Structure 1
Amino acid sequence: MVWSNDKAVAIAIPEDLLETAGASADGKMLQVRVAKGEEAMLGDLSSKNGHVIFTPLVSLTRGLLYEVVVNNKVIGTVKVPLADAADAPVVLNVYPSSDTLPENLLKIYLRFSTPMREGESLQHVALLDQNSDTVKNVFLDLQPELWNKERTVLTMWLDPGRIKRDLIPNQKLGNPLQKGKQYTLAVANNWKDNRGLSLKEPFTKKFLVGTRDELSPDPKDWQLKIPSAKTNAALVISFGEPLDKFLLDETIRIIQEDNAGVAGRIEVTNQEREILFTPVDNWKPGKYRLVVQSILEDLAGNNLNRPFDRDTKVKTVKTDKPIYERTFEIKQPVSLP
């Protein structure tokens, strides 16, 4: 078995075994299939250190037995072992992390400890009402699902057709969430990761539904706690409301007077209501710009340019600014007499 990043990626077959079975040393006439199956797996053959390496197009699955076949005769088997149950995956976080969410909440993020199996989230994730009954037709059934490249963060959209009030699904079914009611997001522990291990335990998050959020975030209303020069203390930016956690990681930059970016680390804190920007090097005295991409959203999907659910009967001025900016000044620390 050939392993890479804790995954079985190929099968190594000794060349002398192939020759004994009547196959050439280059692996011609060789097939690999799931035990008791009839279809040969597709893959590539290579040679290394006296072995023919079979690398399948589809990854080998933990717990399955595979047969090595030459001239329709099984010459060997190999089983991919199950992962250690002690290393079972868990739900690390759910965002938004606040216990009170807007009635027109648009997205929920699930963050796992290991890469999970894709395409089956709606089999394992449910929204329960105050009576522990499953609320139907809440989430969009997106295929492919919206995972990060590491397959550890899943974005689940509540049905926008039920959130936008001028659309038929909203008029027929109403909003997915109802103001003043409590809900439970439930993740079942039969969801497996890419290694075949089920979640170590089920996960639940209770939250209360508040009023609709119909206003776009406005950077000019944000509060800045500005550090002194000659320190690398954090610049604290408070939004006055929770914003989208993962967009916050991607949409905010600090620019110096010479237009050079300030290298630093962003930490999202206070239930996504503020960030701490800590520079790599000490702050220099001078003027800076806080630059924010307009795609940044609040929990209802309102971005900096426009609300997600706007009244189509009311004419508004269309804004398509790519970025928003605010200036601030880093000053020398005050010297005491």
Structure 2
Amino acid sequence: MIHIKTNIKKGGLWSLLCFLLAVSTVNGQSFFTAKTLPQSDRYGTITTRLVPEDIVRLIEERNLNFDEWSSFFYVQTSPSGPAVLGAYGIETNHLSFTPKFLPDPNIKYLVTFSYPKLAELLSGQIEETSIYSDVASFEPPEATQPEVISFIPKLHDVPANLLRFYVYFSAPMSLQNPYDFITIEDKNGKALVDPFVIVPEGLWNIDHTRLTLLLHPGRVKQGVGPNMTLGDVLLAGNSYTLKIDPAWKGSSGEPLKEAFTQTINATNPLRGAMNINNWALKAKVNNGIGILTVVTDHPLDQPLAQRMLFLRNMEGQILPVQINFENPEQLQILWRHQGSQELELLIDPRLEDVCGNTPHYAFDLEGTERTPSQEELKIKFKIE
């Protein structure tokens, strides 16, 4: 599939003229379709159904940039309305346009496809002269109740100076303030005061399905103002319960399927930098798949580790890998084995454990300062 980001800039008299002169069907069939993408309530797609396959191939061979795409295929909210941001694509012999933002079921989209403009672009390789234009709209997605499907770190006991929680949802959540629905209570049911860094819109991934809850670093880090006045968020030896109110709504408008609770047992703080020399590595090959098991000295921040651990062969090539966590202190890295018996595990020096410690830096020790390092961290290993 080709994906090209675009800012479409068509409008005024040209768009109005195309709209007035264009047709919208071929032999009674609609030239365009608009639908919500499968398993997503954030995006939709507009597809040209009846462009001949040989013309689609000519377009695909050109590897068009967005200016070229938008010269013959463009989308607006009206003949003279604002441009629609989005991405073009070719898939299964159809041309498509995907709006960047959630399509509004209440808005009609003007879609135009101009063969004359395409002929200019392809230097006369096609003779078709029709202009097709139609009004497209999107059906609202089916409403489903979201639910919490995962909570990280997956630890029964957590260090008292833990820095982050991650909450995963089955569907995109709404833009409501997350902290109106999330509390941490002590063993007596009393809610903790200001445990989180408050970001009103929340710290979300792009799909709005993973929320990062950042425990207040000023209270976690020893010897700084908030820690001195308010104290630690979690105290070693105490038990807490994180609760998520089921009144919180997903982006579909439906509330959570059920309340969520997570027990948090705080143990001794984990202070001090990670030491990769204490990591244990063991590699083997099974049915052509390399399997590297890594046991670390600190429980890792799993989402960060997914982006900051790499494998490199002795020829200097970075290998595509899949990283699976047994728990925050043990993970497996899988790759397609192609004969190399010796490889390197590369570690981004910014990698953190669950308490914000890196291989060069202890997060919450009084008087320590973060010193960025460009040093390449690597561990060589051999396949058994």
TM-score (norm 2): 0.64
Query: For the Cα contact (< 8 Å) 2:221–2:366, is it kept in 1?
Result: no
Distance 1:213 1:201 in 2: 33
1:4 aligns with 2:68: no
The amino acid of 1:107's aligned partner reads R
Shift of 1:231: 4.3
Q: Which residue of 1 aligns with 2:163?
A: 106
1:304 aligns with 2:364: no
1:328 aligns with 2:381: yes
Q: Which residue of 1 aligns with 2:236?
A: 179
The amino acid of 2:158's aligned partner reads L
The amino acid of 2:151's aligned partner reads V
Shift of 1:145: 2.1
1:254 aligns with 2:311: yes
Q: Which residue of 2 aligns with 1:210?
A: 267
Shift of 1:226: 2.0
Distance 1:167 1:317 in 2: 15
Shift of 1:91: 0.3
Distance 2:236 2:146 in 1: 33
Shift of 1:169: 1.1
1:142 aligns with 2:195: no
Shift of 1:308: 1.1
Counterparts of residues 1-337 of structure 1 (less than 5 Å): 3-5=35-37, 7=41, 46=110, 52-53=135-136, 83-84=142-143, 87-227=144-284, 231-269=288-326, 271-280=327-336, 282=337, 284-312=339-367, 318=371, 320-331=373-384
Alignment partner of 2:304: what SS? Answer: helix
Instruction: Tell which deviates more after alignment, 42-51 or 244-253.
Output: 42-51
**Residues 318 and 88 of structure 1: CA distance in aligned 2, closer, same or farther (over 3 Å):** closer
Query: For the Cα contact (< 8 Å) 1:229–1:330, is it kept in 2?
Result: no
Shift of 1:284: 2.0
**Residues 2 and 188 of structure 1: CA distance in aligned 2, closer, same or farther (over 3 Å):** farther
Q: Name whichever structure is richer in helix by fraction.
A: 2
**Residues 236 and 9 of structure 1: CA distance in aligned 2, closer, same or farther (over 3 Å):** closer
Alignment partner of 2:380: what SS? Answer: strand
TM-score (norm 1): 0.73
Query: For the Cα contact (< 8 Å) 2:173–2:249, is it kept in 1?
Result: yes
Distance 2:287 2:41 in 1: 48
Alignment partner of 1:189: what SS? Answer: coil
Distance 1:261 1:82 in 2: 40
Shift of 1:144: 4.0
Distance 1:28 1:247 in 2: 45
**When the two structures are aligned, how many residues end up with a matched partner?**
276
Encode CA deviations 1:147-169: one digit per residue, 9 max, x unaligned.
11111111111111111222111
Alignment partner of 1:226: what SS? Answer: strand
Encode CA deviations 1:178-220: one digit per residue, 9 max, x unaligned.
1100000111111111111111110111021011111122211
Query: For the Cα contact (< 8 Å) 2:178–2:201, is it kept in 1?
Result: no
Encode CA deviations 1:66-97: one digit per residue, 9 max, x unaligned.
xxxxxxxxxxxxxx86844xx31110111111
Shift of 1:258: 0.5
Query: For the Cα contact (< 8 Å) 2:172–2:250, is it kept in 1?
Result: yes
Alignment partner of 1:92: what SS? Answer: strand
Structure 1 residues without counterparts, runs of 5 or longer: 11-25, 30-41, 56-79, 332-337
Structure 2 residues without counterparts, runs of 5 or longer: 1-32, 45-77, 82-105, 113-131
Give RMSD over aligned pairs. 3.2
Encode CA deviations 1:262-302: one digit per residue, 9 max, x unaligned.
22211111x2211111112x352432111000111111111
**Residues 303 and 51 of structure 1: CA distance in aligned 2, closer, same or farther (over 3 Å):** same
Query: For the Cα contact (< 8 Å) 2:219–2:227, is it kept in 1?
Result: yes
Query: For the Cα contact (< 8 Å) 1:27–1:45, is it kept in 2?
Result: no
The amino acid of 1:304's aligned partner reads P
- In percent, how many aligned pairs have the same letter? 23
Alignment partner of 2:180: what SS? Answer: helix
Query: For the Cα contact (< 8 Å) 1:188–1:202, is it kept in 2?
Result: yes
Alignment partner of 2:265: what SS? Answer: strand
The amino acid of 1:278's aligned partner reads L
Query: For the Cα contact (< 8 Å) 1:163–1:176, is it kept in 2?
Result: yes
Shift of 1:236: 0.3
